[in-house]
Amino acid sequence: SGYKEPYRPQFHFSPAKNWINDPVGLLHHNGIYHLYYQYNPGGIEWGNMSWGHATSHDLTHWDEQPIALLARGFPENVTEMFFTGSAVADVNNTSGFGVDGKIPLVAVYTSSYQVTQTLPSGKEVKANQQSQSVAYSLDDGVTWTTYDEGNPVIHNPPAPYQQQYENFRDPFLVWHEQTNKWILVTALSELHKLVLWTSDNLKDWKVLSQFGPFNGVGGVWECPNLFPLDLDNDKSKTKWIMAVGLNPGGPPGTVGSGTQYFIGSFDGEKFTPDDESVYPGNKTSNWMDWGPDYYATTSFNGLPSTDHTVIGWMNNWQYGTKIPVYPWHGAMAAPRRLSLKTINQKPTLIQQPNEAWKSIQRQGEHSSSWNTFNQGNKDLGSVGKTLDVELEFSASGASEFGIIVQATSDWKQQTIIGYNFEEKKIFVDRTKSGDVSFDETFASVYHAPLIPNSDGTVRLRILVDWSSIEVFGGEGEATLTAQIFPSRNATFARLFSHGGDTKNVQLGVRKVSSTWN
């Protein structure tokens, strides 16, 4: 195929064919980034959930690998699907899975049982039950063996929630250095609760605490993710972040799934959100991304917290199966490096795209500046469809300033990315972005709040790929991700200042090359 089909992401991961959703089991081990993902080996829609696998040396160029965990019984008679989970390198062989000094990689995942059955372990499970199971790899993540003697290792939800066995999933695994213990976070999805567990050996788990409900409680809670970050790079000020997927129930103005997070502390037992991270009456949430297409974000294990990296699924359960692409369905957002910085007296989550830019950026294709950018438009010509745009500007009299990308020469198709000075919000308008017909909620405008710098400057970094826009506002304190499906000849771009002039405009547009050559 050469990865040149219509809408094929050029510098984002997508599988050669078939359906993907959540990234799972992200692990950096022996210099290799492992990306596993929810995958249907048998089709372009959700089903037969297995763990697909891709590897990278630089988080940018990916090689698709053989399926890591194939739905049991596929294709005729699937009895167990492998839902979302996470993975670690068990360097001290706490699990005992290692043999001959080989470090075992260990994954904990949700078993989604399709039929009532008695398992090899002797445990009985019901149709539609979700339990937590373990698998391990002794060849650095290529092939995996399910721990059938013991699975599922967490058979049922803890008391008094046993009735929730159909909605108990998505274990995230993290090592807690201070107490020398494994920590696992699982979701009781319908209850908007997370359960934290601990273990010495990755097999025997006991309940530590619960978290939630807080803030966003639309739909179900899924895909929890817990990790430490040092505030302002100060090791004595470590905080913990808990991210949670909501489906449906994403940010204001979106329909479908989205991701919220809490900043707080974790003492090895209990995650306690900071007061300023919780909004009484569940009125609002801290949104990881303000766009419609960022879900199920999860962290790499095996990286230092100074290099904390996450990947999200760049799609939405509202229309994920209907997007007009073939023969695959779904892509991953650009990997992001996360940090915590005090901005306006508040610990603030900062996200920046973490790609090996040097290997894919063609330098300085367009770079211009204007002391005063007069009200109106400036055409940039046919700049292409894979761009890394940096835009800086400050208010003068304008109501809005921004850039149009992926436009056709008649401007009938266009995606608008701008800043509204009065509302202090970034916006992405995809109402005329191309094919919007496959879902009635798709043609919309999305907003992310962003306060200008103390000197009044607004900074936007915009990654444009054949079927996506990712905006990183300010230092990365606001992000907005949206898919678009423009036609192949939508290569034009233009700057605009509406309602007045804009000052101190600086533009850099670099072309990005395909990672699939």
22 binds ligand FRU (CB under 6 A): yes
DSSP string of 281-336, one letter each residue: GG---EES-SSSS-EEEEEPBSS-GGG-EEEEES--TTTTTTSS-SSEE--BPPPE
The C-alpha torsion from 320 through 325 and 329 to 334, rounded to 10°, is -90
222 binds ligand FRU (CB under 6 A): yes
3-state SS record for 352-391: EECCCHHHCEEEEEEEEEEEEECCEEEEEEECCCCEEEEE
**Residue-wise over 316-336: b if at least 16 C-beta within 10 A, else e?**
bbbbbbebbbeebbbbbbbbb
CB of 21 to ligand FRU, least distance (A): 5
In this structure, are strands 502-512 and 387-395 parallel, antiparallel, or unpaired?
A: antiparallel
Q: Which one of 88, 105, 108, 223 is in contact with ligand FRU (CB under 6 A)?
A: 223
CB nearer to ligand FRU: pick between 94 and 114: 114
193 binds ligand FRU (CB under 6 A): no
CB of 243 to ligand FRU, least distance (A): 13
CB nearer to ligand FRU: pick between 146 and 413: 146
Task: Count the neighbouring beta carbons within 10 Å of the beta carbon of residue 92.
Answer: 10
User: Which residues fall within 8 angstroms of residue 469, CB to CB, at 6 or more apart?
Assistant: 291, 405, 415, 417, 428, 430, 462, 463, 480, 481, 482, 483, 484
38 binds ligand FRU (CB under 6 A): yes
Tell me the one-letter amino acid at 264.
G
90 binds ligand FRU (CB under 6 A): no
Q: Which one of 10, 21, 94, 285 is in contact with ligand FRU (CB under 6 A)?
A: 21
110 binds ligand FRU (CB under 6 A): yes
Q: How far apart are the first and last CA of the chain?
A: 11
CB nearer to ligand FRU: pick between 251 and 473: 251
CB nearer to ligand FRU: pick between 50 and 415: 50
296 binds ligand FRU (CB under 6 A): yes
CB nearer to ligand FRU: pick between 170 and 388: 170
Q: Which one of 56, 60, 84, 297 is in contact with ligand FRU (CB under 6 A)?
A: 84
What part of residues 330-369 is at the interface with ligand FRU (CB under 6 A)? none
Q: Is the sign of the CA dihedral 19, 81, 254, 13 positive or negative?
A: negative
CB nearer to ligand FRU: pick between 38 and 114: 38
Q: Which of 313, 289, 309 is nearest to 299 (CA)?
A: 309
CA distance 106 to 98: 10
> In this structure, are residues 94 and 65 in contact, taking their beta carbons and an 8 Å threshold?
no
Residue 4 token pair = 């040149």
Tokens 């043609």 correspond to what residue?
443
CB of 218 to ligand FRU, least distance (A): 15
CB of 283 to ligand FRU, least distance (A): 25
Q: Which of 207, 203, 274 is nearest to 237 (CA)?
A: 274
Tell me the one-letter amino acid at 249.
G
CB of 38 to ligand FRU, least distance (A): 4
CB of 497 to ligand FRU, least distance (A): 40
> In this structure, are residues 487 and 413 in contact, taking their beta carbons and an 8 Å threshold?
yes
CB nearer to ligand FRU: pick between 196 and 296: 296
Residues 149-188 as x/- pattern, contact with ligand FRU by CB under 6 A: --------------------xx------------------
CB nearer to ligand FRU: pick between 165 and 496: 165
484 binds ligand FRU (CB under 6 A): no
Residues 297-336 as x/- pattern, contact with ligand FRU by CB under 6 A: ----------------------------------------
Count of positions on this chain that bind ligand FRU (CB under 6 A): 12
CB of 49 to ligand FRU, least distance (A): 5
293 binds ligand FRU (CB under 6 A): no
Point out the residues that are catalytic. 22
Q: Which residues make up the interface to ligand FRU (CB under 6 A)?
A: 21-22, 38, 49, 83-84, 110, 169-170, 222-223, 296
